[in-house]
């Protein structure tokens, strides 16, 4: 199954993907929800309960999305964010238009052509042109906000659509949303591979087998790091209370456990020991040395044993925890 955050996929692209995968699950559009979906949603009687119950509705549109399920959800935090951003950008665009209007009123800018060029080069700086009604002539400029257009956009704030070819027998609506939300872990994994932990950049491979081998090594390396981080949760900054991070509602934003802020601020874990980043812990362990010693005895087989440098309490705890990993 392929899970993708943004696919501006045409039906042709999806058909090509289905030759190599069984199912797909993706965000419908780059902006999540568009007016093309609005008529589908409004036809559904449960549309009104979306914002009241923070629930989802499931739609189907065989003509436009054959063989797909459309799961519509409303995210209150996303709605507030988009509303606030739009209001800020409208205020900024007002200032731009007001400056141009003052120039026109003062006679510094004349003619429909020059005025249009000036406004056209600046009004869309914040992508707000569609929310304004302009009246331009040779000596004056007036502008008003398109209130109806703004109200129509506000109705879409916080809505997003998830498209999937998975049947409801395989995945419920909630499970589909949950799988989509898991993409944050994938993005975090690629960040770890490319920068913080492994620093693996793009490889100069061109043959299919070498590309697959390169990808396999990257994922295997990340798996080792993931197992180490899970074992060392109490020694590093990630939260120790994993159960508290399991969300009951996938719409709700992730919440930190009660002890996480104190752990990050004091750098002390729940046991009273110091907590560090994963990289710092590796640096502390880099001083641990194990030497294989071989004593040659007369008329006897050599005596072979290992000598390990003295460990402090933190190093000993880290090695103890990592030795408990079961593959």
Identify the domain containing residue 214 by its residue range.
182-222
**pLDDT, tens only, 109-131:** 999 999 999 998 888 889 899 99
Higher pLDDT, 258 or 180: 180
Whether residue 105 lies inside any domain: the answer is: yes
**Rounded to an integer, what distance in angstroms lies between the CA atom of residue 285 and that of residue 287?**
5
- Helices then strands, counting H and E runs in the chain, come out as 12, 9
**pLDDT, tens only, 16-32:** 655 555 566 666 543 34
Whether residue 227 lies inside any domain: the answer is: no
94 lies in the same domain as 135: yes
**Rounded to an integer, what distance in angstroms lies between the CA atom of residue 270 and that of residue 260?**
9
133 lies in the same domain as 103: yes
Whether residue 45 lies inside any domain: the answer is: yes
144 lies in the same domain as 257: no
What is the CB neighbour count within 10 angstroms for residue 154?
Answer: 13
Contacts for 258 with CB less than 8 Å, ≥ 6 apart: 241, 244
144 lies in the same domain as 277: no
Q: What are phi and psi of 159, to 5 degrees?
A: -95, 140
116 lies in the same domain as 197: no
165 lies in the same domain as 196: no
Q: Three-class SS of residue 306?
A: strand
Whether residue 270 lies inside any domain: the answer is: yes
What pLDDT is recorded for position 29? 46
What pLDDT is recorded for position 41? 52
Whether residue 34 lies inside any domain: the answer is: yes
The mean pLDDT value for 315-327 works out to 88
60 lies in the same domain as 89: no
168 lies in the same domain as 197: no
132 lies in the same domain as 14: no
Whether residue 68 lies inside any domain: the answer is: yes
**Rounded to an integer, what distance in angstroms lies between the CA atom of residue 234 and that of residue 123?**
53
24 lies in the same domain as 42: yes
What pLDDT is recorded for position 144? 93
**Rounded to an integer, what distance in angstroms lies between the CA atom of residue 118 and that of residue 171?**
53
Whether residue 104 lies inside any domain: the answer is: yes
280 lies in the same domain as 192: no
Whether residue 255 lies inside any domain: the answer is: yes
**pLDDT, tens only, 190-219:** 888 888 888 877 677 788 888 888 888 888
321 lies in the same domain as 241: yes
For the chain, how are helix, strand and coil distributed in percent, rounded to 5?
45, 15, 40
The mean pLDDT value for 291-295 works out to 89
Q: Does the global pTM surpass 0.85?
A: no
What pLDDT is recorded for position 246? 58
Do 8 and 30 meet the contact criterion of CB atoms below 8 Å apart? Answer: yes
Q: How many domains does the chain have?
A: 4
């Amino acid at each position: 199954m392929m899970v993708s955050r943004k696919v501006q996929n045409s039906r042709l692209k999806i058909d090509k993907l289905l030759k190599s995968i069984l199912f797909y699950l993706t965000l419908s559009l780059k902006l999540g929800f568009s007016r093309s979906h609005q008529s589908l949603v409004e036809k559904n009687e449960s549309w009104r309960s979306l914002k009241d119950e923070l629930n989802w509705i499931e739609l189907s549109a065989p003509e436009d999305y054959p063989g797909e399920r459309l799961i519509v959800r409303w995210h209150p935090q996303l709605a507030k964010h988009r509303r606030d951003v739009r209001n800020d950008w409208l205020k900024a665009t007002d200032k731009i238009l007001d400056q141009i209007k003052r120039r026109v009123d003062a006679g510094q800018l004349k003619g429909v052509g020059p005025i249009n060029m000036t406004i056209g080069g600046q009004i869309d700086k914040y992508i707000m042109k569609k929310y304004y009604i302009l009246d331009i002539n040779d000596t004056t400029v007036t502008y008003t906000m398109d209130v109806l257009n703004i109200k129509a956009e506000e109705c879409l704030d916080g809505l997003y659509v998830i498209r999937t070819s998975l049947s409801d027998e395989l995945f419920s609506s909630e499970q589909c949303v949950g799988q989509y939300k898991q993409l944050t872990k994938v993005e975090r994994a690629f960040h770890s591979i490319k920068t913080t932990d492994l620093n693996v950049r793009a490889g100069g491979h061109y043959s299919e087998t070498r590309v697959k081998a390169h990808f396999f090594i990257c994922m295997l390396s990340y798996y080792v790091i993931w197992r180490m981080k899970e074992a060392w949760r109490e020694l590093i900054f990630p939260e120790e209370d994993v159960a508290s991070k399991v969300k009951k509602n996938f719409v709700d934003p992730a919440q930190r456990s009660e002890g996480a802020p104190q752990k990050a601020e004091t750098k002390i874990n729940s046991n009273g020991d110091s907590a560090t980043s994963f990289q710092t812990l590796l640096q502390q362990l880099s001083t641990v040395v194990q030497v294989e010693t071989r004593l040659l005895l007369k008329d006897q087989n050599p005596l072979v044993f290992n000598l390990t440098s003295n460990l402090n309490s933190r190093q000993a705890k880290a090695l103890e925890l990592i030795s408990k990993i079961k593959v």
